[in-house]
Structure 1
Amino acid sequence: MVRFLPIVVIVLLMIYCVIEVAQSRPDEVRRAPRWLWAAAVIGLPLIGSVAWLFLGRPNARSIADAVDERFPIAPDDDPDFLKRLR
């Protein structure tokens, strides 16, 4: 039973990464398009999953870069909202 544990761990890691790739927004993914990350995770389960976790997964910086600058993040950043308070 112990000899199957690494296989089970790799399969669970691959499933987790495939779901995470599918749920991430395309403009937040780093270094490669989402479809390429999905192919890497499925085609090379251990290497692709680890690469996704360290190189492709959205982080705070990639999410901040993807935020549309046309819309304010908080009410006090919105000039129209501040004008209505007066």
Structure 2
Amino acid sequence: MARLLIVGGFLALVFWVFSIVDCAVQPATRHRGASKGAWIAIVVLIPVLGGILWFALGRRRRRDQESIRRAAPDDDPEFLRGLGKTEQDDRIRRLEEELARLDDETDPPAAEPRS
């Protein structure tokens, strides 16, 4: 019985330390419901229960974050702001030149007029 308590206490200690480290190293965008400092305080002050709360409620899952960022580039205001007008103009000009070159390659030679 004493061994079981020692093993359980050791596992609780490992889980507690792991919870603290996981909470501390996650970027602020992965914390849900409270600030990063508040979550660290919860996990530290309420040893095992704080860790369970952190993993169940506080930690934003990667798939949750991906669904937030899953937008087409033309729907993303940051992406659109990052595009300069000259960048767009240069790309359009290059595409037009390429299309003109392809048109020239595929057009049959013009017949010479007969006199």
Query: Hey, what does 2:28 align to over in structure 1?
Result: 26
Q: What TM-score comes out, normalization by structure 2 length?
A: 0.55
1:22, CA displacement in angstroms?
1.1
- Residue in 2 aligned with 1:76? none
Residue equivalent to 2:38: 36
Query: Secondary structure of the equivalent of 2:29?
Result: coil
Q: Using the TM superposition, give the Cα deviation of residue 28 of structure 1 relative to its aligned residue in structure 2, in angstroms.
A: 2.2
Which position in structure 2 is the counterpart of 1:2?
4
Where is the helix percentage greater, Structure 1 or Structure 2? 2
Q: Which runs of 4+ in 1 moved over 4 A?
A: none
1:1-86 counterparts in 2 under 5 A? 1-59=3-61, 60-61=63-64, 63-64=65-66, 65=68, 69=76, 70-71=78-79, 83=91, 86=95
- Asked if 2 retains the 8 angstrom alpha-carbon contact of 1:18 and 1:38, the reply is yes
Task: List runs of 5+ in structure 1 lacking aligned partners.
Answer: 73-78
Identity between Structure 1 and Structure 2 (%): 17
Q: TM-score, normalization: structure 1?
A: 0.71
- Whose relative contact order is higher, 1 or 2, with alpha carbons under 8 Å and at least 6 apart? 1
Number of aligned residue pairs: give it. 76
Which is greater in Rg? Answer: 2
Deviation at 1:3, TM superposition (A): 1.7
In the alignment, residue 35 of structure 1 is paired with which amino acid?
Answer: G
In structure 2, do the counterparts of structure 1 residues 43 and 66 end up closer, same or farther at CA, with 3 Å as the change threshold? farther
Unaligned runs of 5+ in 2: 71-75, 81-86, 96-115
